[in-house]
Amino acid sequence: MGLFPWSKSFGVVLFLVLVSPVSGIGANWGTQSTHRLPPEIVVRMLRENGIRKVKLFDADYDTLKALGKAGPELEVMVGIPNDMLSTMGSLKAAEKWVSKNVSVHISNNNVNIRYVAVGNEPYLTTYNGTYLRTTLPAMQNVQTALIKAGLGNKVKVTCPLNADVYESSSGLPSGGDFRADIHGFVSQLVKFLSDNGCPFTINIYPFISLYIDPNFPVEYAFFDGNATPLNDGGTTYTNMFDANHDTLVWALQKNGFGNVPIIIGEIGWPTDGDRNANAQLAQRFNQGFMQHISEGKGTPMRPGPIDAYLFSLIDEDAKSIQPGNFERHWGIFTYDGLPKYSLNLGTTNSGSLVQAKNVKYLERKWCVFKPNAKVDDPQIAPSMSYACGLGDCTSLGYGTSCGGLDARGNISYAFNSYYQINNQLDDACKFQGLGTVTKSDPSTGTCRYGLMIEPYYGGAERQLGYTRMALALLFFLWTIL
């Protein structure tokens, strides 16, 4: 796709809605975490940061109830996961889902639900067509169910798509069109959106372009105006976002849908897990994007305010790392609600992010490699492999926040990750006698050794199940070694 593969190559999770200055800012709130912040704490954090829109990837009851307490000032997008698309092929199932996850929350819990995201990047190339034939029928049935429930004018259907659904034959925005192999499917989906007054939601990721192509012009990913301009028939593009966005606009126009509203479903920059993923570049990108859209100028092909969701609100340590180790580090906040860097959303008096309040941590203790243990111990390799497999070692490696640790530091980091995720249980720091508990924080420099927050018991079944599974496997592994 030439210079424009600007897409997030794998589906995910969480994002900030940056609509017009009048509409306010929102956030994509993902929950693929071993220890979630309680919904009430996150909702307060959203409000204190002036974030007025939130996008979810499901319709979790506790989350929606907490959002309802914030009142109508917080607009909500709920989601239907891809694995439910075939089920939504039944109108009866769609009606039941809308009744349980939309109608009840609007009428009983005062939740201001405005959108239902049916699927998440279902046309992604890597899904090999799995959801091509189930996405549109699901959208149609959910739309019908919303109308039957009397919500057709209040709640709109959409479907977040990856930017790989379009491409440019010329390498310029004006060459944009829907990808040839799925052209018919995308056209039908857009016609449905157009007919029903629903927005086209697209996810755009300059970081991914840099990640997959070492020759990508780095400056073009940012908004500083330092990149060599791209000339498209007299129209100049100085950043990838505008060019990618307008590639979509051209694709829509060529297929007769030039007036369909566009929402940027996900856009952001990760802070760890890759040499180009750090707080400095994330701050540069996100602040640049905020400044870019705050002016309300839009793009050359779509002047006016841009409706966009920055990805994401909070780090998620249980996300799949198949796309890359950076997947767990998209948040502008850490897993425990601490701002990662200075970011002015234009919504607070201080001009900076406000951290989560009343976060409860486990006891201040960490699991580390025993000082008298030897780094050539044959049990270290299987122990490290196990700890990282069921913990989170994505901050270890070249160019990462903990990339400067020595061998002992790496082992300690892995042990501690597993220990914290398992709620600091004594048995989670044994590692064949290689681990020991310390009350001295081993964090150093840019490397933060996690201290886990208390489990959120609203989601206790899933979280405690994870712990039991991990420990059971640990005991099994130790018995066969």
Positive or negative, the CA dihedral 313, 284, 319, 463 is negative
* Dmax (CA) of the chain: 71
Angle, helices 183-195 vs 135-148, to 10°: value is: 10
Whether 135 and 18 have beta carbons less than 8 Å apart is answered as no
By DSSP bridging, strand 176-178 and strand 166-168 are antiparallel
- Kindly name the residue from 40, 75, 121, 316 that is annotated as catalytic: 121
Distances 320 to 12, 207, 323, 327 between C-alpha atoms, Å: 9, 18, 8, 7
DSSP characters for 4-63? ---S-SS-----EEE--TTT-EEEEE----SSPPPHHHHHHHHHHTTEEEEEESS--HHH
Nearest one of 466, 440, 450, 441 to 394, comparing CA atoms? 450
Residue 149 CA to residue 86 CA, distance in Å, equals 21
- Which residue out of 40, 167, 266, 327 is catalytically annotated? 266
Q: Residue 170 corresponds to which tokens in the numbers above?
A: 């010329």
- CB-based burial, 365-401: b 16+ in 10 Å, e otherwise: bbbbbbeebeeeeeebeebbebbbebbbbbbbbeebb
Q: What distances in angstroms separate CA 152 from CA 103, 108, 144, 156, 443, one per listed residue?
A: 11, 18, 8, 7, 52
- Region class of 176: left (phi > 0), else alpha (psi between -120 and 50), else beta: beta
Query: Is residue 363 among the annotated active site residues?
Result: no
Looking up tokens 């709109």 gives 156
Q: How far apart are CA 142 and CA 105, in angstroms?
A: 16
- Whole-number Å distance between alpha carbons of 209 and 386: 32
Q: Does the active-site annotation cover 121?
A: yes
Q: Is the CB of residue 90 less than 8 Å from the CB of residue 141?
A: yes
Give the CA count within 13 Å in the CB-facing half-sphere of 400: 20
d(CA 16, CA 353): 13
* Phi-psi label, residue 452: left if phi above 0, alpha if psi -120 to 50, beta otherwise: beta
DSSP codes of every residue in 240-290: HHHHHHHHHHHHHHHTT-TT--EEEEEE----SSBTTBSHHHHHHHHHHHH
Active site residues: 121, 266
